[in-house]
Amino acid sequence: MAESASTSAAILDIMTFFSEQSQLWRACGIRGLFHYEDVPGMISLLAGRPNSSTFPFESITMKVKPSVAGLDQTTTDDPYTITLENDVLNEAMQYGMTAGVGRFIKWLQEFQTHVHKRAFDGSWGVSVGSGSQDLMHKACVSLVEKDDFVLVETPVYSGTLGFLAALPCSLIEAPADAQGLNPSKLEQILANWETTHPGKPYPKLLYTIPSGSNPTGASIPEERKIEVLKLAKKYNFLVLEDDAYAYLYYGPEGKQARSYFALEPEVNGEMGRVVRFDSFSKVLSSGMRLGYMTAAPQLCAAVNMITSNTNLQPSTLTQIIAYSLLSRWGPEGFLAHCRGVAAFYRSRRDMFERVARKHLEGLAEWVTPVAGMFLYIKLLVHNDGREADSEKIVLGKATSKGVLAVPGTAFMPLKGPSPYLRVSFSLIEEDQADEACRRLREAVLEAKMEAEAEDAVGLGKKN
Ligand SMILES: Cc1ncc(COP(=O)(O)O)c(C=O)c1O
């Protein structure tokens, strides 16, 4: 481990975590030379870029909503309009750098320093991706080796399970509760590893969703994060921090936990164990497909290597649109915008909980989230506390009554049953939410009646 220049924390040698697969990609003979084009005076005959004068676009003008247009901006004449034209439009319409547009990456680096209080000291870098999921997949491809074990917070975002299933690893469920990932349960898994998995390597990665989890809505408090980080150091695994809902925090002011990325130097005296994923999907636009990974520079390079050989780069156009807005807002302006978005979801949460209480009192329970856009609802079908599998109720009864939610089993890495269902309150208006909960009530009541009838038959047989 080498000493970091700016702090006394050591830098983890992340290369020891890399998969063989990560070494097999071949640097693209063209993209690998792009940086020479920045040498002053260089005449480039390099890339087969199309000539942008042939593109049919003259300019692109976007109107910014007046409610957010002028956030923190002091210099722009017209805060409501973003126009891309001439050189900027040509750049936006053209192939660009693999890791992302340079000035956009710089903005993101400064933003990460601003938010997470980590100096840009060479211990980390930023790569832009076509959404954060693109980067999570590429990071896992770079890290996951045949026969590796990966700890997965459970229940968990089914999108991650989809690509992990295609990697040559085994998943280990690390249980989460109302307060997110449970460090005591995680410790139990690791402390018993040699008994439960004799001769097998310890898990290499932990994948976790710390804020407003998809699906549970839970946010892990800082004390738990500290325990998790200590376990990560003790048992030598990387923490993949998927913080897609970090900026949808609407809990008490000043109470939001610091990120794993912010905490790692302080807690463990080291840097590089946390790989952080951020997404613009929930706060700028999901269709722009922009996310960014903050990680050890070697991991950024490995992910960029995959990008350069697969989708070549994230969209230049959407990066430049995002940059136009973000550079105008500045970090504080962007955060102010995010607070506005979060307040929107808080009022949606309040509305949804109101109608859910009205229709599902005694038939379901949930924990009120302080971030994100989901309620994770446990169905109370059996009177004696036994748990019912929600899948049959959701896909059988609820859909036939005209209401759709995601059964909890979709979020179980090992596909176990679950009495939960996930509802999203992001889009729904009150009248529709009310009707949805009423239909859900009918479905649960029906399931309850059936369960009671089955129990009665069972009891009769016993007698
Ligand atoms: C937990 C979580 N991570 C990642 C993603 C994907 O985000 P992106 O749109 O940035 O790829 C989602 C999308 O819903 C999500 O819920």
Please write the tens of the pLDDT for every residue from 373-424: 999 999 999 999 899 999 999 999 999 999 999 999 999 999 999 999 999 9
Distance separating alpha carbons of residues 189 and 183, to the nearest angstrom: 10
Report the mean per-residue pLDDT for the chain: 94
Q: 75 falls in which pLDDT band (50, 70, 90)?
A: low
Residue from 156, 209, 281, 373 to probe ligand 1 pocket by mutation (most atoms less than 8 Å from CB): 281
Q: 6 falls in which pLDDT band (50, 70, 90)?
A: very low
Instruction: Kindly give the pairing relationship between strand 169-177 and strand 180-181.
Output: antiparallel
164 C-alpha vs ligand 1 centroid, how far in Å?
A: 14
Contact (Cβ atoms closer than 8 angstroms) between residue 322 and residue 284: yes
Torsion angle of alpha carbons 16, 22, 28, 33, nearest 10°?
-20
427 C-alpha vs ligand 1 centroid, how far in Å?
A: 16
Looking at residue 78, its pLDDT comes to 75
Looking at residue 456, its pLDDT comes to 83
279 C-alpha vs ligand 1 centroid, how far in Å?
A: 7
133 C-alpha vs ligand 1 centroid, how far in Å?
A: 6
Label residue 298 exposed, middle or buried (CB < 10 Å: 0-12, 13-18, 19+): middle
Looking at residue 459, its pLDDT comes to 65
pLDDT in tens, 144-174: 999 999 999 999 999 999 999 999 999 999 9
Q: Is the pLDDT of residue 4 over 50?
A: no
Tokens of 14: 């992340």
Residues in the chain, overall count: 463
Looking at residue 454, its pLDDT comes to 86
pLDDT in tens, 331-361: 999 999 999 999 999 999 999 999 999 999 9
pLDDT in tens, 82-128: 999 999 999 999 999 999 999 999 999 999 999 999 999 999 999 99
Residue from 132, 290, 292, 345 to probe ligand 1 pocket by mutation (most atoms less than 8 Å from CB): 132
Contact (Cβ atoms closer than 8 angstroms) between residue 347 and residue 98: no
Closest ligand 1 atom to Cα of 245 = 1
Please give the share of the chain, as a percent, with pLDDT higher than 70: 95
132 C-alpha vs ligand 1 centroid, how far in Å?
A: 6
Residue from 214, 290, 374 to probe ligand 1 pocket by mutation (most atoms less than 8 Å from CB): 214
Greater confidence (261 vs 69) lies with: 261
Assess whether the C-beta atom of 209 lies below 6 angstroms from ligand 1.
yes
Exposure of 347 in the CB half-sphere (CA atoms within 13 A)? 7
Domains of the chain, earliest start first? 2-39+46-62+76-330 (3.40.640.10), 337-462 (3.90.1150.10)
pLDDT in tens, 192-211: 999 999 999 999 999 999 99
Q: Is the pLDDT of residue 3 over 80?
A: no
Q: Is the pLDDT of residue 1 over 50?
A: no
Assess whether the C-beta atom of 334 lies below 6 angstroms from ligand 1.
no
Q: Is the pLDDT of residue 316 over 60?
A: yes
Phi/psi region, residue 422 (left: phi>0; alpha: psi -120 to 50; beta: rest), is: beta
Looking at residue 68, its pLDDT comes to 79
pLDDT in tens, 10-48: 999 999 999 999 999 998 888 888 889 889 999 999 888
Residue from 209, 242, 279, 411 to probe ligand 1 pocket by mutation (most atoms less than 8 Å from CB): 279
Assess whether the C-beta atom of 425 lies below 6 angstroms from ligand 1.
no
Assess whether the C-beta atom of 157 lies below 6 angstroms from ligand 1.
yes
Assess whether the C-beta atom of 291 lies below 6 angstroms from ligand 1.
yes
Assess whether the C-beta atom of 285 lies below 6 angstroms from ligand 1.
no
